[in-house]
Structure 1
Amino acid sequence: MTTPLLFTLDGNTQLQQGLQTLLHVERGDCLVRHFPDGESYVRVLSDCRARDVIVLCSLSQPDQRALPLFFMTDTLRELGARSVGLVAPYLGYMRQDTRFHPGEAISSQLFARYLSQHIDWLVTVDPHLHRYHALNEIYSVPHHLVHAAPLLATYIAQSVSRPLLIGPDSESEQWVAAVATAADAPFQVLHKTRHGDRDVSVSVPDTERWRAHTPVLVDDIISTGHTLIETIGHLKTAGLRAPVCMAVHGIFADDAQARLLAAGVERVVTCNSIAHATNAIDLGPLLADAVKNLLPSASDSLL
């Protein structure tokens, strides 16, 4: 059985190198660029005939990455790949999960339909499942969801003195509670009112009893950071210590990291689902285990 190939389209070389080592796969070489008119150019340089292929591509910028990804996966099939699977640590287009206003596209369903046509299996990390109970409600390919909560809990237990976990909203309560339980730490959940994409107000529960603790703001995604910045202001007003901000996925839109630091956080910590300077938690071992469960040649080449 030939060794699988691992192609990387998102520039996350740290995660790529970790997966290569853990999975004992070969690096696949490709060329992806854009023509002056903005069209995508994709060229597969490695021989993929009769080989299982893994494509690593976090979809944090899906409009920029989806077409090259689709071109890549289809070209791999045309060149004879036995199977093509996707490791997308961050899975984009999950938030628009209903029609909030008349005429809106339910993009999570549409994107899932498109992506499922191009891959044989999918591995992702903590996708935004709010109105969906499971990913198979919209994705039609075999998949494995990696949960980062145990890794966050381990980091908190080892690196934060007397932590108090704080969830951003009621939707996060179950997830934050799981992290807090694993870290053996108390938690509180904020009350959030969203007035628009960049207009969010929050209220913080009674903080008097937590003055000796270090607040740890935990979320699945840091996007614009507006909710976190609003929360940091309330915590400072309440006299609590400078908080630690943690997230599975760090998108950091609108220069969010700089604004979080300016707001007074102690530090910002993310998993390496999206390559960023704040990456302090490695998802590689969990992703590798998930791939082994889905890769057709796992029993021969990986075990």
Structure 2
Amino acid sequence: MTDFTVIGGPSSEQLAKKIASKLKSKFIGCELRVFPDGESKITLKGKPDGKILVIQSIYPPVDSNLLRCLAITSQARTFSSQVYVIIPYMGYARQDRQFLPGEIITMKHVAKMFKAAGATKVIVVDIHSITALDHFQISAKNISAVEELAKHFKKMSLHDPLVVSPDKGGMERAKNFAKFLGVDYTALEKQRDRKTGNVTIKSKGLDGVKGRDIILVDDMISTGGSIVKAAEFLKKQKSGKVYACCTHALLIGDAEKNIIKAGVTKIISANTIPGKTSVVDVSPIIAKAIT
């Protein structure tokens, strides 16, 4: 047994149990009670000792899961001088800089809150923007789930697969994913309206798509707008099957239904956010990053 105690927050209890198992560490769960007015009351189900790992994803309800994470972190600090906070999905990472005049860089304030709560180190998985980590005044590390996701696809019988990023910004991710599979990759040219959020594909056409199975790779799928537009575009190019792959499947509202309707055969994601698409386990890479 290592000298860690793993505390599984309400949003990531199953993943936390897997991490504790891999580290051969003590596991402590949390009891969550939500009052009628929305307040959360958290009770630790045991007494932690040694270095403490707090595992809590900050997915919807984002504000509630953020506050719960901060509360657990603060409580953990009363037991240990070393508190590592593992945030598999980091909410607010898209608000890491000012895009339009007057916008608040919320990620900067979230980072300050983790330091104030007593976190000594933060580890995240495939954060939306590495720039977000620059706001932390404590040790902050990003780890990638790309290889684990690629391993999943390596076991599948795909026809002449092509890895595609829905936008140019994800080119490096697509390149790394394709390298693990030993296949080609490319990226579409996407345009998003900063005010409305509407997405359009500016690419006119792609060579070498016809008949090939496509793996659309992104860091996260939220409303699914980018994946829908990309899938519709690729289907018009007479591609083979289209798979949507991401680390974080938020799948807000009708996202999953709209993605399947657009021609996607299957959505595959990691268990940074629990759900029926989260079939790829990231506990091995998290455990490795800690030890």
- 2:188 aligned to 187, 190, 200, which one? 190
SS of 2:208's equivalent in the other structure is: helix
Question: Unmatched 5+ residue regions in structure 1?
Answer: 293-303
1:17-28 maps to which residues of 2 (within 5 A)?
17-28=17-28
Task: State the match for 2:151 in structure 1.
Answer: 154
Task: State the match for 1:141 in structure 2.
Answer: 138
Structure showing greater relative contact order (alpha-carbon pairs closer than 8 Å, 6 or more residues apart): 1
User: What percentage of aligned pairs have identical amino acids?
Assistant: 25
SS of 1:209's equivalent in the other structure is: coil
Task: State the match for 2:215 in structure 1.
Answer: 216
Structure-1-length-normalised TM-score:
0.88
Alpha-carbon offset, residue 149 of structure 1: 1.8
Task: State the match for 1:297 in structure 2.
Answer: none
Alpha-carbon offset, residue 198 of structure 1: 3.9
1:1-303 maps to which residues of 2 (within 5 A)?
3-48=3-48, 50-61=49-60, 62-78=62-78, 80-118=79-117, 119-129=119-129, 132=131, 135=133, 137-159=134-156, 160-195=158-193, 196-204=195-203, 206-292=205-291
SS of 2:99's equivalent in the other structure is: coil
CA offsets 1:238-288 (integer angstroms, 9 cap, x no match): 221230000011111122112211222111100111111111211111100
User: Partners of 2:288 and 2:51 in 1: how far apart?
Assistant: 16
Distance 1:197 1:5, change over 3 A: farther
Aligned-residue CA RMSD (Å): 2.0
Alpha-carbon offset, residue 117 of structure 1: 2.2
Alpha-carbon offset, residue 82 of structure 1: 4.1
Alpha-carbon offset, residue 208 of structure 1: 4.7
User: Partners of 1:192 and 1:201 in 2: how far apart?
Assistant: 6
Structure-2-length-normalised TM-score:
0.91
CA offsets 1:211-233 (integer angstroms, 9 cap, x no match): 13101110011111011111111
Please tell me whether the aligned partners of residues 163 and 216 of structure 1 are also in contact (alpha carbons under 8 angstroms).
Answer: yes
Distance 1:16 1:89, change over 3 A: same
Range with greater deviation from structure 2 (195-204 or 58-67): 195-204
User: Partners of 2:105 and 2:179 in 1: how far apart?
Assistant: 35
Please tell me whether the aligned partners of residues 86 and 123 of structure 2 are also in contact (alpha carbons under 8 angstroms).
Answer: yes
User: Partners of 2:186 and 2:3 in 1: how far apart?
Assistant: 48
Question: Unmatched 5+ residue regions in structure 2?
Answer: none
How many pairs are equivalent?
Answer: 287
Please tell me whether the aligned partners of residues 204 and 231 of structure 1 are also in contact (alpha carbons under 8 angstroms).
Answer: no
SS of 1:275's equivalent in the other structure is: coil
User: Partners of 1:58 and 1:251 in 2: how far apart?
Assistant: 11
